[in-house]
Amino acid sequence: MLVTLTTTAGAPAGSVEHGALLDATDLGYLLHKHPARAQSFDLPVGTAHVFYPEADTARCTVALLLEVDPVGIVRNKRFGGRDAFSLAQYVNDRPYAASSMLAVALGAVFRTAMTGRCDSRQVLADSSIPLEIHVPALPCRGGAGLAERLFGPLGWTVDATPEPLDPTVPEWGDSRYVDLRLTGTVRLADALHHLYVLLPVLDDAKHYWVTGDEVDKLLRAGEGWLAEHPERDQIMHRYLAHQRRYVEDATDRLVTLDGGPLPADAESEDAPAEGDVPAAGSDAVGTRAPTLARQRAEAVVAALHEVGARSVVDLGCGEGALLRLLVADRRFTRLLGTDVAARELERAATRLRLEDASDAERERVQLVQSSLTYRDERIAGFDAAVLMEVIEHVDPPRLGALERVVFAEARPGTVVVTTPNVEYNALYPTLEEHGHRHTDHRFEWTRAELQAWAGGVAHRHGYAVTFRDVGPEDVGPRGLGSPTQMALFTRSTEAGA
């Protein structure tokens, strides 16, 4: 299997001072592979070789050649499967045609490049550069037109030439293989992500057993482009081997991060595909701003660090977006996630990989089904409690019960609440007037309304409260604030039990 990436010297999408590719061999820096060396890497699917057929100041090409042992794969229990003794397992296109094996090799060999990190050429890594990608033999179940529909919306000029079944017998027609060439001015990390996802999608097959981890891989590699791709559903079905539960999980996580459309001039988790837009006030060219979902979770973690919390209960944890950050931070010694929906807890357990965790880790991180409007002794005794994008899902008449359960009975030292700022909704062009960002939102508060509610809660239960903005701030004449607002409650030491 072979894929080549070629770049030429020139100014990519901007002036020279903002990341011009003055020397084509800078591609070696971006890939972390020296043009003067040939390197080999042993992988589960075979041996990957990286070399540069050409490398000068004007033009540089890197080649990734994957040598596959089809017999060895069949005999390997990990790949062989039930039909390991069928003739098709020994006579096939695996050694030659690009497939999920080549995608795995790309992810392993160019792992750092796919993160977009290059300490010596970071501005260049953040910029779009002229690229030409060539995959000589690619299975394309759907014909050359499918390749155009998948890569075209991502900014590529696509040349997919069908290969004949037999050049000497033209009446047999074309095979399902194409010779694929992509040209465009694209950030290198994005180009690698496009290949990583779409090679197995075009083949509509994977050489390994697909598990829930594939959803995480797909969303990571698809960040910034998958959510709004016109062929998104087909991409997800094929990438996830048509397993409905994983497709539904991926769809929910893409569409309902916060559930609404993105304002035309703002960064929001509501449409992760807009992740390439610089954050408000940024003058960086080509930098990828974090989504609002990421900014919100990081703001919550920062607040927990400020108050020195060691044990945290995530109330309404959903599928565990915040818990994943907390679990990775060893400063948090005890974590509990609660949700009223059992299905969400199952997803959270999968994302946190609790089944494979050690006994000590399962003791540190626990998930329980619980309602925020009913007393639950299991949520008491924590340093901090978090309600991240939760209260707007509670019917207003039930807010009193939530207040009693959290602030009067559980009484953590700190409570962090985030909720949408409804004033900011005016920047969402496709949102109806007085509409909510998510169909399940029972209400959305203005900044004054949150402050009035939080001030009353703090006064009644012996807490002090401060307020913060999360996300890009609207600096226009209306001063609509930020898309997310945070209330940080800290229990007064003078307040009695």
Task: State residue 81's pLDDT score.
Answer: 44
User: One-letter amino acid identity for 393?
Assistant: H
Q: Which two tokens stand for residue 72?
A: 């060895």
Task: State residue 223's pLDDT score.
Answer: 87
Pick the range with the lowest mean pLDDT from 61-65, 167-171, 204-208, 459-463.
Answer: 204-208
Pick the range with the lowest mean pLDDT from 35-39, 70-74, 417-421.
Answer: 70-74
Task: State residue 70's pLDDT score.
Answer: 65
Task: State residue 72's pLDDT score.
Answer: 59
Pick the range with the lowest mean pLDDT from 188-197, 200-209, 218-227, 468-477.
Answer: 200-209
Q: What is the mean predicted confidence (pLDDT) over 196-222?
A: 85
Task: State residue 432's pLDDT score.
Answer: 67
Rounded to whole angstroms, what are the CA distances from 242 to 217, 236, 466? 16, 8, 47
Residue 297, pLDDT > 80, answer yes
Pick the range with the lowest mean pLDDT from 15-24, 262-271, 316-325, 406-415.
Answer: 262-271
Q: Is 474:269 a contact under the CB 8 Å cutoff?
A: no
Residue 94, pLDDT > 70, answer no
Burial class (CB in 10 A: 0-12, 13-18, 19+), 271: buried
pLDDT top residue among 81 and 181: 181
Q: How confident is the model at residue 86 (pLDDT cuts 50, 70, 90)?
A: low
Residue 433, pLDDT > 70, answer no
**Range list of H helices, 92-243:** 100-109, 111-114, 122-125, 144-151, 188-203, 213-221, 232-239
DSSP 379: G
Between CA 97 and CA 103 the distance in angstroms is: 12
Rounded to whole angstroms, what are the CA distances from 477 to 167, 262, 473, 481? 67, 20, 12, 11
Residues with Cβ within 8 Å of 33's Cβ and at least 6 positions away in sequence, in order, are 39, 50, 62, 109, 110
Q: What is the mean predicted confidence (pLDDT) over 217-226?
A: 89
Q: Which two tokens stand for residue 84?
A: 């390991």
* pLDDT 10s digits, 355-384: 888 888 989 999 999 999 999 999 999 999
Helices (H) and strands (E) in the chain, counts: 17, 14
Task: State residue 73's pLDDT score.
Answer: 59
Residue 188, pLDDT > 70, answer yes
Is the sign of the CA dihedral 346, 238, 111, 93 positive or negative?
A: positive
Between CA 273 and CA 260 the distance in angstroms is: 13
Rounded to whole angstroms, what are the CA distances from 202 to 160, 175, 179, 332, 349? 12, 14, 13, 43, 31
Helical pair 232-239 and 244-255, crossing angle rounded to 10 deg: 140
> What mean pLDDT is reported for the chain?
83
Task: State residue 405's pLDDT score.
Answer: 96
Task: State residue 75's pLDDT score.
Answer: 57
User: One-letter amino acid identity for 441?
Assistant: H
Nearest C-alpha neighbor of 107 from the set 28, 199, 202: 199
**Range list of H helices, 240-353:** 244-255, 292-306, 321-328, 342-352
Residue 186, pLDDT > 70, answer yes
What distance lies between CA 198 and its chain's CA centroid? Answer: 16
